[in-house]
Amino acid sequence: MMLFKLSLKNIKKSFRDYAIYFFTLILGVSIFYVFNAIESQTIMMDISSSTYRLIELMLQMMDGVSVFVSLILGFLIIYASQFLMKRRNKEFGIYLTLGMSKRKISTILFFETLCIGILSLAAGLALGAGLSQLMSLLVANMFEADLTKFQFIFSGKACVKTLIYFSIMYLLVMVFNTINVNRCKLIDLLYASRKSETVKMKNPILCIIVFLLSACALGYAYYQVSGGVEKMSDTSLILIIIAIGIVSTFFLFWSLSGLLLKIFMSMKRTYYKGLNSFTLRQVSSKINTTVFSMTIICLMLFVTICVLSSALSIKNSMTANLTELAPVDVELTKDLDLGAGEYTDAQIADSKISTKETMQQLGFDTDKYLTDTLDFNIYSSDEILTRDTLGGYYETALEKYPTLLYDSPELLVKQSDYNKIAKLFHQKAVSLKENQYAIIADYEEWVIMRDQGLETSPALTLSGKTYTPAYDKCISGFIEISANHINFGFVVLPDDAVNESMRMRNVILGNYKATTKEGKQETEDALLAVDDSPYAANTTVDAMTKLALYESSIGLGALITFIGLYLGIIFLISSAALLALKELSESSDNRERFQMLRRLGTDEKMLDRALFRQIGIFFLFPLLIAVIHSIFGIRFCNYILESFGNSQLLVSIIITSIFLIVIYGGYFILTYLCSRNMMRD
């Protein structure tokens, strides 16, 4: 009982030291609870069955992510507890001097960890319960659900899961603390605060050489990731670039840490102004451990910025595309004349009839359910391949993007059919002479390639007739509805250039006759019911609807957004907490140095400014390098996001910046205040 009371007094006495530890634990518990309570928040929402299936998929993936997050938080908690142990070395040394056994010290730490765990879990769950209500609004916004029946919900399942995971973490902390106490020596505990790392002046020439090599290596990595997805399609190359980036970042910090001190020492007026010399030498006093820590924190911040910026932009971009890329309600597609192959006789016979006749066989009358229909064919021929349309640019494209399928046949569309589609889709019509062709595409990377190919005026030959480009640039457009810009390109030819002997795909575009939401859903259900028709086994007809695209886009966008938010926030908290604890540890070691400055007559304002600058350098340095990395990292992510649309990227970058300012800046202010209290204590 006496040891328990002593533990409570220790916690109360060292509350300022525990502030960041408490803050991190409470944030970790609340974030963990919030993202695991999503399932309970969806109960009160009026959502469709297909949307609920998407939420179930998201929840399954969140379970896996939660395991990874728990490992990160577990490492962070153990690291933080080691800081607190170091902070109290002298206290434990006095206990041993007074005759207390190591077993009793371990018991005190056990009670302290238990009390801290209970308090942080209670506060974290309370905060998480409040934040989860805001999360439910975000979920409803993501899935566009009805929240008229919304009410406050506490997730028992998420609470139990949080208690189990964090109890395991605290148990590990107790084990580590017991091991550390049993391994420690009395002399090390009593004199630990007097030990400091010697400031070693590095060879400036070596630092310059290492800096230049690191900068060149990073420049090479930046150049490679700026080349796009096609250029980075080789997995081994991606891994090499990642390795180069990590190693170069480490040596960049190593070289700059030596160079900056040397540079400022040569600037006499700046170096000897105020307490600048003291501050700079303080920054360099822990250089060996700081370089590695800075590298880890910088890389974590880099991942945070890229993940948050990319994830937050996907959902809005994907749904925003649908108005443009899915201008009609339904698209029915069927390959005609399958020919010989691994097909049944019934399937081969079915492939000789049109899509409209097939749908009637399936019990879906297109005339009954659809309006504004447009029926057309897409052709292909081995006489016109992708390499042919690239002309003189083919060799360059092959060298830059060797993995693309250049020998695949191009899709061919009649001019009259495309102009009807263009009118329906509000696109630009094409005008061709009898010996001309045009290329239509909207996927940016392929548009660039197509344009460079058209600059060489490639001639295409089909059925003995030669066709030349009518335009020197690719025309933006598409003929099949989708949620993303995925049209790599197709060729529009005069009507008489194609014939029924070529391979064909029959397509029907149309809108639902029903105008209400309920009526459109009934048509959608009737379309889905064709799978139950006995004739369904005989046909290869495919159906794509705007509603299905919309729900899948919302689901995928929400999935990526939530996982990105989850990982991004945890990485941001972890990197800021690691840096804060590192700084507090050094502040604890440097307290005697600040006391010496006070004895020499230095006023408190100068000491506060010196401390603020010292902590500011440590927080700003890895963030600055991470931001530079992120400029190119986000640029690489842009190539992936191009098919989704990246119109919302600027907004997501602004939101990410707000997260950084609030969380990272909050840790900085809290670290400064705690360190200042240590110096004045």
Of 96 and 191, the structure prediction assigns the larger pLDDT to: 96
Q: What pLDDT, on the 0 to 100 scale, is given for residue 264?
A: 64
Burial of 276 (0-12, 13-18, 19+ CB in 10 A): middle
Q: Is residue 576 part of a domain?
A: no
User: How does the average pLDDT of the chain come out, rounded?
Assistant: 78
Domain total for the chain?
2
Q: Is residue 635 part of a domain?
A: no
Contact criterion met (CB below 8 Å) for 643 and 486: yes
For 589-642, what is each residue's pLDDT tens digit? 667 777 777 777 777 788 778 788 888 888 888 899 999 998 888 877 766 665
pLDDT at 229 over 50: no
pLDDT at 259 over 80: no
Q: Is residue 462 part of a domain?
A: yes
- Taking only Cα atoms into account, the Rg of the chain, rounded to an integer number of angstroms, comes to 33
**Given 513, 539, 565, which residue is the final one in a domain?**
539
In angstroms, the CA 579 to CA 293 distance is 8
Of 646 and 393, the structure prediction assigns the larger pLDDT to: 393
Q: Range of 134's domain? A: 1-195
**Given 148, 166, 195, which residue is the final one in a domain?**
195
For 333-347, what is each residue's pLDDT tens digit? 988 876 656 777 777
In angstroms, the CA 596 to CA 600 distance is 6
Name the range with the highest mean pLDDT among 23-32, 110-119, 405-414, 478-487. Answer: 405-414
**Given 195, 223, 242, which residue is the final one in a domain?**
195
Q: Is residue 108 part of a domain?
A: yes
Q: Is residue 101 part of a domain?
A: yes
Q: Supply the pTM of this predicted model.
A: 0.71
pLDDT at 188 over 80: no
In DSSP notation, 426-486 reads T-------TTEEEEEE--HHHHHHHHHHHTT---EEETTEEEEES-SSPEE--SS--SS--
pLDDT at 285 over 70: no
- Which residues are 411's β-sheet partners? 380
Q: Does an H or E element contain 375, and which?
A: strand 370-385
Q: Is residue 251 part of a domain?
A: no
Q: Does an H or E element contain 334, and which?
A: strand 330-336
Tokens 């209670």, residue? 122
Tokens, residue 512: 């639902």
| Strand, coil or helix: 544 | strand
Q: What pLDDT, on the 0 to 100 scale, is given for residue 295?
A: 86
CA dihedral 249, 253, 256, 260 (to 10 degrees): 150
- Which residues are 335's β-sheet partners? 505
Tokens, residue 34: 């919030």
Q: Is residue 367 part of a domain?
A: yes
The total of other beta-carbon atoms located within 10 Å of residue 25's CB is 26
Q: Is residue 351 part of a domain?
A: yes
Instruction: Report the pLDDT averaged over residues 135-152.
Output: 63
Burial 139-148 (b: 16+ CB within 10 A, else e): bbebbebeee
DSSP state of 230: T
Tokens, residue 503: 């391979």
**77-91, 149-163, 292-306, 552-566: range with lowest mean pLDDT:** 77-91
- How remote is the C-alpha of 509 from its chain's centroid? 36
End-to-end CA distance of the chain, in Å? 29
For 486-543, what is each residue's pLDDT tens digit? 888 999 999 888 887 788 888 999 988 888 877 888 888 888 888 778 887 778 788 8
| Strand, coil or helix: 201 | coil
In angstroms, the CA 18 to CA 35 distance is 26
Contact criterion met (CB below 8 Å) for 350 and 538: yes
Q: What pLDDT, on the 0 to 100 scale, is given for residue 362?
A: 84
For 416-444, what is each residue's pLDDT tens digit? 999 999 988 888 889 998 899 999 998 88
In angstroms, the CA 372 to CA 360 distance is 18
Tokens, residue 538: 């005989």
Instruction: Report the pLDDT averaged over residues 458-462.
Output: 90
Tokens, residue 645: 């649309």
Q: How many CA atoms does the CB half-sphere of 162 hold within 13 Å?
A: 30
Percent of the chain at pLDDT > 70 equals: 77
Contact criterion met (CB below 8 Å) for 308 and 564: yes
Q: What pLDDT, on the 0 to 100 scale, is given for residue 197?
A: 46
In angstroms, the CA 678 to CA 584 distance is 9
| Strand, coil or helix: 377 | strand
Length of the chain: 681
pLDDT at 190 over 70: no
Q: Which residues contact 613 (CB under 8 A, 6 or more apart)?
A: 279
Q: Which residues contact 530 (CB under 8 A, 6 or more apart)?
A: 359, 362, 363, 364, 536, 543
